[in-house]
Amino acid sequence: MKILFIVTGVGYGDATREHANIETFMKKHPATEVMIAGYDNSYKYFKDKYPTIEIKGYKFTEQSLKFSVPRFIWKNYNLPFFWAVNTLRLRKRVKEFNPDIIISDFEPIGIILAKLVKKKCVMIFGYDPELFKQCPYKNKKTKLEAKYFNTLYKSADAVIIPRLLGEKTDSKYHSVNPILRTKPQDIQPKEELMKKLELEKEPIVIMLGGSTFGNILAKKIIHFSHLFREDFIIFGSKIGEVTQKNVTYYPYKENVMEYMKVSKAVITLAGHLTLSECLALKKPAMVFPIKDHAEQILNAYMLENIFYIRYDLKDLRKNIKKFLSKLDAIKGKIPSIEFNGAEQVTDIIYELSNY
Residues whose CB is less than 8 angstroms from the CB of residue 323 and which lie 6 or more positions away in sequence, other chains included:
265, 267, 284, 286, 308, 330
Best-predicted range by mean pLDDT (70-74, 178-182, 249-253, 305-309): 305-309
Task: Evaluate whether 36 touches 46 at the Cβ level (below 8 Å).
Answer: yes
Q: Tens digits of per-residue pLDDT, 141-159?
A: 999 999 999 999 999 999 9
Name the DSSP letter for residue 105: S
DSSP 8-class letter at 228 = S
Asked if the model's pLDDT at residue 177 lies above 80, the reply is yes
Residues 108-137 have pLDDT tens digits of 888 988 998 999 999 999 999 999 999 999
CATH number assigned to the domain with residue range 184-333, chosen from the 4 options 3.30.360.10, 3.40.1160.10, 1.10.10.10, 3.40.50.2000: 3.40.50.2000
Same fold, 2-179+340-352 and 184-333: yes
How far apart are the C-alpha atoms of 278 and 96, rounded to whole Å? 41
86 φ, ψ to 5°? -60, -45
Domain ranges of the chain: 2-179+340-352, 184-333
pLDDT at 66 (0 to 100): 57
- State residue 277's pLDDT score: 97
Task: Indicate if the pLDDT at residue 61 is higher than 60.
Answer: no
What percent of the chain has a predicted confidence (pLDDT) above 90? Answer: 72
pLDDT digits 0-9 by tens, 270-321:
999 999 999 999 999 999 999 999 999 999 999 999 999 999 999 999 999 9
State in words which class domain 2-179+340-352 has.
alpha beta
For the ranges 61-70, 117-126, 129-138, 198-207, the lowest mean pLDDT is seen at 61-70
- pLDDT at position 11 is 75
Q: Which amino acid is at 304?
A: E
Tell me: pLDDT of 63 over 50.
no
pLDDT of 71 > 60? The answer is no
Residues near 258 by Cβ (< 8 Å), separated by ≥ 6? 187, 188, 193, 196, 197
* pLDDT per residue as tens digits for the range 273-284: 999 999 999 999
The predicted model scores a pTM of 0.89
What is the per-residue DSSP string for 229-264?
SS-EEEESS-------TTEEEES--TTHHHHHHH-S
Q: Give which of 255, 253, 4 is closest to 105, Cα–Cα.
A: 4
What integer is the mean pLDDT of 186-213? 92
